């Protein structure tokens, strides 16, 4: 603007020399003085290089002042327009930036939601496949037990799948479902108990331990009656296998080369043959007082635990081993060093109670392993018959 003003001032004498000769413009000093030029850079006369009065002013002062005033108004107007435009563009810029950020946030939010949905879908899929891995419909293949089914299928099926099968033990009118492990150590195993996630309640009365409970594809107790039917078939012998996994993923086992149960009238007393394995013979313990071999079964409401009226265990007076062991059922004997029906989740002993899975002979540096899962399975021993 400054250079425009300067050019105008330089050109003014030439522009005005023609017009001043006539009588077209005729401003006087009083008119000039009445103009508000307070914002102008000095009074009009002073701007014209010290021209004083009409007579000495080479450029008519009134015209100069008018031009300057117009120039000022023009400059102010332009400045105002510029400010307005600047304000508008700033607001638009801010609006654009905010809208862009909002769009980015919306996209992120959508992506997060999609990811969450995918994670949830995957999670439920994994959960479902875990629980339903084996929960296929029972194979309609009747055998007397899983060993028998394996023997009859091995020549016609290249790979016999593990899963739920229907068995019909000899000399009974009872058919029922069992889980057969056909991969583990040669296959043919009937699963008698499985404890893996602690989701199944093992605090049960006698009737449940006699009949069985849980999900055959997951945690379950097959039931003493069914096991009795299987192991008391004619001309059969069964081995019993305990498979243990510790919290730090160490595996171990205890195997007994002979296993049978007495009938319910004798409280399903357990009979075990020779021990072999890496987990120690916790069924028998270290002395006769701890020996569970030949012990009758106890449950929360049936007390055959050998503590009559009570035992002294770890300086505690115990009347019921089932109560001491989280209301579970087992072949307790004062109470002994084994109870595989404890919970995988209660690694810590609770106020002297034994709520966890117990196989006390399996130790490392003198400390028992914390057991996170266990299964008990039985299989026929080949006989000469």
Binding residues for Ca ion (CB under 5 A)? 303, 305, 307
Report angle CA 156, 162, 167 to the nearest 5 degrees.
75
246: left (phi over 0), alpha (psi -120 to 50) or beta: beta
Least distance CB 307 / Ca ion (angstroms) = 4
Write phi, then psi, for 76 (nearest 5 degrees): -60, -45
Q: How far apart are CA 108 and CA 105, in angstroms?
A: 5
DSSP state of 370: P
Least distance CB 168 / Ca ion (angstroms) = 37
Q: How far is CA 193 from CA 83, 204, 320, in A?
A: 85, 14, 23
Give whichever of 255 and 324 is closer to Ca ion, judged by the CB atom. 324
Give whichever of 110 and 317 is closer to Ca ion, judged by the CB atom. 317
Q: How far apart are CA 254 and CA 243, in angstroms?
A: 7
Give whichever of 291 and 361 is closer to Ca ion, judged by the CB atom. 291
Give whichever of 258 and 303 is closer to Ca ion, judged by the CB atom. 303
Q: How far apart are CA 240 and CA 254, in angstroms?
A: 8
Write phi, then psi, for 311 (nearest 5 degrees): -120, 160
Least distance CB 330 / Ca ion (angstroms) = 13
Retrieve residue 306's tokens.
């050998």
Strands 163-167, 139-143: pairing is: parallel
Give whichever of 177 and 303 is closer to Ca ion, judged by the CB atom. 303
Least distance CB 332 / Ca ion (angstroms) = 8
Q: Which residue's beta carbon is nearest to the bound Ca ion? A: 307
Least distance CB 194 / Ca ion (angstroms) = 28
**Contact assessment for residue 252 and residue 244, using Cβ atoms and an 8 Å cutoff:** yes
Give whichever of 35 and 303 is closer to Ca ion, judged by the CB atom. 303
Q: Give bridge partners of residue 246 from the DSSP assignment.
A: 371
Least distance CB 290 / Ca ion (angstroms) = 15
Least distance CB 203 / Ca ion (angstroms) = 17
CA 133 to chain CA centroid, Å, is 20
Give whichever of 257 and 303 is closer to Ca ion, judged by the CB atom. 303
Q: Give bridge partners of residue 71 from the DSSP assignment.
A: none
The helix/strand/coil state of 330 is: strand
């Amino acid at each position: 603007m400054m250079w425009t003003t300067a050019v105008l001032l330089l050109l003014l004498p030439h522009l005005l020399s023609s017009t001043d000769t006539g009588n077209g413009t005729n401003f006087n000093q009083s008119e000039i003085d009445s103009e508000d030029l307070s914002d102008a850079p000095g009074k009009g006369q002073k701007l014209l290089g010290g021209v004083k009065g009409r007579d000495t002013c080479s450029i008519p002062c009134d015209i100069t002042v008018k031009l300057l005033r117009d120039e000022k108004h023009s400059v102010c107007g332009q400045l105002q327009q510029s400010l307005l435009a600047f304000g508008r563009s700033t607001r638009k810029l801010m609006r654009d930036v905010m809208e862009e950020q909002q769009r980015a946030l919306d996209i992120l939010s959508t992506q997060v939601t999609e990811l969450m949905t995918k994670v949830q879908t995957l999670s439920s899929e994994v959960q479902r496949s875990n629980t339903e891995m084996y929960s296929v419909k029972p194979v309609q293949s009747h055998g007397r037990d899983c060993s028998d089914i394996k023997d009859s299928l091995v020549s016609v099926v290249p790979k016999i799948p593990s899963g739920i099968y229907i068995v019909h033990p000899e000399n009974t009118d009872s058919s029922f479902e069992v889980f057969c492990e056909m991969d583990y150590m040669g296959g043919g195993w009937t699963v008698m108990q499985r404890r893996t996630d602690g989701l199944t309640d093992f605090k049960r009365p006698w009737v449940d331990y006699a009949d069985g409970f849980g999900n055959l594809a997951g945690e379950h107790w097959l039931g003493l009656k069914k096991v009795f039917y299987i192991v008391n078939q004619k001309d059969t012998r069964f081995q019993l296998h305990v498979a243990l996994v510790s919290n730090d993923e160490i595996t171990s086992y205890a195997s007994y080369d002979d296993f049978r149960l007495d009938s319910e009238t004798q409280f399903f007393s357990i009979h075990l043959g020779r021990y072999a394995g890496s987990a120690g013979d916790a069924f028998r313990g270290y002395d006769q007082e701890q020996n569970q071999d030949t012990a009758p079964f106890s449950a929360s409401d049936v007390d055959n635990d050998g503590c009559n009226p009570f035992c002294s265990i770890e300086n505690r007076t115990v009347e019921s081993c089932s109560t001491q062991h989280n209301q579970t059922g087992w072949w307790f004997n004062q109470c002994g060093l084994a109870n595989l029906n404890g919970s995988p989740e209660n690694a810590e002993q609770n106020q002297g109670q034994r709520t966890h899975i117990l196989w006390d002979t399996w130790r490392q540096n003198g400390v028992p392993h914390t057991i996170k899962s266990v299964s008990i399975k039985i299989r026929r021993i080949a006989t000469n018959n």
